[in-house]
Amino acid sequence: MLPVTGAWTLPFTAYLLLLTNRVIYQRVKNKQWIGSQLKSDKDNTGNFDTPDPLFLDSRCHMNFLENVPYAFILTAVAELNGGNRTYLNYAMAILLAIRIGHVELGLRGKDTLGPGRPVGIFGTQALLGALAVYGTYLVKGHWGY
């Protein structure tokens, strides 16, 4: 019923597990079981030259979780309303690439400001907007057009 959405669950989940395990690694390594910063780095807030590793990994994880589920919802809505599977597959492939780029070439880049960061931010927003417009277009008959 939702082959495109279903097909993309594995690669997105695999990357989510990587992001989750980075947070777990920082917590175990530093014995920091709660909070979003390492105790030793709390007075280092705002220093972008040496970002707190737990905070950085937590933000990478949270940024992914803030955007990807909504993209899955929009893709599923479009797919259920007869959306072109090729277009939807391209959209999900692009989303995965820009989300990975946002983290690996952006947040984890030099000074957390690598080129993947703006591509990830603006690319994700553009893709979410495009999926919403496409989903609305697919049900235009409901609006009387």
Cα separation, 110 vs 116, whole angstroms: 11
- Yes or no: say if 103 and 60 are a contact pair by the CB < 8 Å rule: yes
Instruction: For 12-64, write each residue's pLDDT tens digit.
Output: 999 999 999 999 999 999 888 888 888 665 555 555 567 899 999 999 999 99
How many CB atoms neighbour CB 140 within 10 A? 9
* Mean pLDDT of the region 114-122: 95
- Yes or no: say if 92 and 75 are a contact pair by the CB < 8 Å rule: yes
